[in-house]
Structure 1
Amino acid sequence: MKTQQEPPRVVVADVVWTGDGRVLSPGAIEIENGVIVDARQLVGSRPTGSHVSDLGDALVMPGLVNTHAHTPMSLMRGVAQGHSLLSMEGFLGVLRNREAHLTPELVPASVAVSCADFIHHGTTSFADQYFYADEIAPTVIKSGLRAAIAWGIVELGDDAARARELRSTAEFVSAMSGTSDLVRGWVGPHAFFVDNQPEAMLAARDLAERFGVGMHAHYSTSSEEDEYCDEHYGVSSLRKLVEMQMLDVPTILAHCNTVPVEELSLLAGTRASMALIPSVAMQSGAPAAPVRDAIDQGVNVTLGSDNVCNNTNVDLFEEMRMLGKLAAFTSRTPNNVTPDEILRIATRNGHKALGGAAVDGALAPGAVADLIALPLREIARGPIGAQSLEAALVYGTSGASVTDTMVAGRWLMRDKQLLTIDLKGQREQQQRDYDVLVGRMAGGADHGRQ
């Protein structure tokens, strides 16, 4: 006897912004097995039934993709105010003196708090890079978010540290293989030529190739990489990366504030993506990344939040807004990067950087069913015809307005209520963890990684 199959799940809303050039009003999205099978304009009565989630006077859109984050660092949220973490002074003086006392049991609660922050603000997928990745992954899996988690490799030229980090990375990526459909292990050399010597970089690339995963590194936050490569090789750091075949595997290059415009063509056609964090560049007094030139050269440009020690916000709607304004301000050209381009940067380009399918990041057949909803009344839009919906989403919307978040067809938040994370309990644990960290710092002895 043939078993009766459940009908596809259907999400209905007054407005559906699909991300592929369509606005459905009202619209319906059909989902099976975590994948969108149809997104269509509704004609006539709206569907009903237990399999239908009608969000009413809301806008549904693709979930946002954060391509550069450090989830455990919510434990130290705000401690870097007044410092630039894009410099060795800030990195060593503000972070490393705390991370020296960080041990694995202090990680999971802060990861959970960060994941809740993502879900609350409309991020459905992210790329993380930090050590203790084996403590990050289980919490992310429980949250239901989609992620690529890279084990952060910091070796600073120390042979013993290099061996330890590469071994830990290999063990982590191997253990993650087949563990989750949504969360994958990546390789995370912390910063090319700065915290990682060429030998470690090549070993990291070989690990990524061996396991068929990507790499996630800080790059071009300042001129340090170029100064190193000019002194040792007589070429720019980007030319050296190409020569070393470092960009032959999927690679996220975070920040890219000082990439020479004339060398952006070297990135085009590679498997590398530029993950820009405009708020951190502004807060740190760093140059603005050359976003317009990168787009024009065919580079895959994405968006991130970085850590909340400095950028205390993970709201990618705010980052989209800052990206557009900073690009216009530095170029002295209004609308230098259009709202359509900015939304693509925060959705489809992000999925591409994380290894997704070409259609992922749109609400279209074959795409992953990652979506968010916002009340129409909280999108500050001018009269229809006066302002595009895309402009209103970029310049008149806050992630704090997100009411519903779905990943792979599963609701992670409904009506602002988290469904996968006990945020109150995790915040209480995070406070206890912070008190332990501060106590250790006062005691002076190192407890964690060196």
Structure 2
Amino acid sequence: MQTTLVADHVLLPDRVLEPGVVRVEDGVITTADPVGSDGPPRDPDTVRLDGRVLIPGLVNAHTHSPMSIMKGVAEGRSLLTKEGWFQCIRVLESDLVPDAVPAAVAVSCAEMIASGTTTFADQYFFAEQIVPVVDRSGMRAAVAYGIVELGDDDARARELAACRRFLQRAADLPPRVRGWVGPHAFFVDSTEAAIAAEMAMADEFGCGLHAHFATSGEEDAFCYATYGTSAVVRMRALGLLDRRMLLAHACTIVVDDLPLLAGTAVSLVLAPNVCMASGATPPPFRSAIDAGVTVALGTDNVCNNGSYDMFAEMRAMGRLASFVSGRPDALTARELLDMATVAGHRALGICPVEPAGSIAPGAPADLISVAVPALHRGPAGMQSLHSALVYGGSGGAVRDVMVDGRWLMRDRALLTLDLAVASARRDSDAGNLLAARTRHAQAAPMRG
């Protein structure tokens, strides 16, 4: 299947085509060239994207798609501490049933597609309910089964067995949807016995690990008290740094440990909006990048973020970086776009072809178009296109979305998911979840 795309602006790794022509064949970009003197192609397969910018699809490298069923419940509260997470979220999750997951995931996938995300990394339990919806959506994803053991031997055995069953079934999925292992948090919630089993399982199935890390310093406090080393140093001793792994948040990671991650398949995923909303310590973004660590972006859950908009994450990261460093442009617009595209793909490593996350021959045709008027761009000589996208763009400006050369959204119309139907079911499931939690809360004193 061939498609020829013509857009007013095409964002290449080293320049901008104005206008440009991108040709796609069998889901892969074959050429990206400026429009010639004889005008744009007039082939039957040509799609005109007039008044639009064509850019690589965005990567949300850390989220929890089923949690849209609890969207907004944690506003004004921090989920980056074990206590906050347990009291606000875990009590609800104890009443969550598998049948309530698919609609919530469909809502999340629809919202991600509509705001320009083509690839994401998920981490949650009931993962077997997540992947069919992701497959139907047409998105690319690494879905990790979230393992929560809280030091309980029975829970550990149960969760590891469930993760294994999930990975066995995930082996039959299309290549763009992968099954991963998802320890909730090393040391804080995942004992070394669990860590050893999780590493062995990731090796057996050839997949990555996706965990929360350094959200509030609890891992380092434990490791210093127990082993006399930082958490990263202890992780290296256990062999964790020898595997592909996403470490989400990294707010309190020890800066001197960052060189240990350079040159590895371990990536840090920063979630600036959740970091600020939680009043957390800003992550050492510049030190990590300068040390050669892969640094990507994610939204985390929408319980207190409230949005899957990766444009908002880029903008928040840029503002946060300048604020904490005390200097403007601490992260350039180009760096921010790279964090949300190329670095995200490098972190996940699930694209079958390279260079993923860019518009270049051989790259997967994961593309989005953004309406030029919606950017409110300054004069071309005054504001770069990169700056206009990061600081003037939003998910609402996205018009078209393509993954592997297949349209998932055209002119704002979702083609693979019905958001209205999914939202209605999600809201009904949320009502049932709240009712179950209320019943159990009222019955608790009677059981005592």
Q: Give the structure-1-normalised TM-score.
A: 0.96
- What is aligned with 1:327? 321
Q: Shift of the alpha carbon at 1:102?
A: 0.3
> 2: distance between equivalents of 1:445 and 1:385?
61
Q: 2:428 aligns with which of 432, 438, 443?
A: 432
- What is aligned with 1:307? 301
The answer on 1:42 being equivalent to 2:35 is yes
The 5 Å alignment of 1:42-121 reads 42-43=35-36, 44-121=38-115
The amino acid that maps onto 2:245 is T
CA contact (8 A) 1:118 1:124 kept: yes
- What is aligned with 1:416? 412
The amino acid that maps onto 1:183 is V
Q: Shift of the alpha carbon at 1:358?
A: 4.5
- What is aligned with 1:3? none
Q: 1:276 aligns with which of 263, 270, 273?
A: 270
The amino acid that maps onto 1:380 is H
> 1: distance between equivalents of 2:142 and 2:184?
15
Residue 167 of structure 2: SS of its match in structure 1?
helix
CA RMSD of superposed structures (Å) = 1.2
The amino acid that maps onto 2:410 is R
The runs of 5 or more residues in structure 1 that have no matched partner are: 1-5
The 10-residue stretch of structure 1 (386-395 or 150-159) with the greater mean CA deviation from structure 2: 386-395
The amino acid that maps onto 2:16 is V
- What is aligned with 1:444? 440
> 1: distance between equivalents of 2:383 and 2:49?
24
The amino acid that maps onto 2:185 is A
Q: 2:376 aligns with which of 359, 377, 380?
A: 380
Residue 286 of structure 2: SS of its match in structure 1?
helix
Residue 382 of structure 1: SS of its match in structure 2?
coil
The amino acid that maps onto 2:19 is P
- What is aligned with 2:445? none
CA contact (8 A) 2:24 2:30 kept: yes
Q: 2:358 aligns with which of 357, 362, 365?
A: 362
The amino acid that maps onto 1:304 is G
The amino acid that maps onto 2:86 is L
Q: Shift of the alpha carbon at 1:424?
A: 0.8
Q: 1:23 aligns with which of 16, 28, 52?
A: 16
Q: Shift of the alpha carbon at 1:437?
A: 0.6
The amino acid that maps onto 1:275 is V
The 10-residue stretch of structure 1 (402-411 or 392-401) with the greater mean CA deviation from structure 2: 392-401
Q: Give the structure-2-normalised TM-score.
A: 0.96
> 1: distance between equivalents of 2:43 and 2:67?
43
The 5 Å alignment of 1:28-427 reads 28-43=21-36, 44-355=38-349, 356=351, 357-427=353-423
Residue 201 of structure 2: SS of its match in structure 1?
helix
Residue 403 of structure 1: SS of its match in structure 2?
strand
Q: Shift of the alpha carbon at 1:439?
A: 1.2
Deviations 1:127-151 (CA, angstroms, capped at 9, x unpaired): 0000000000000100000000000
> 1: distance between equivalents of 2:316 and 2:354?
26
> 2: distance between equivalents of 1:50 and 1:115?
31
CA contact (8 A) 1:115 1:143 kept: yes
> 1: distance between equivalents of 2:292 and 2:177?
28
CA contact (8 A) 1:191 1:218 kept: yes
CA contact (8 A) 1:348 1:358 kept: no
The runs of 5 or more residues in structure 2 that have no matched partner are: 443-448
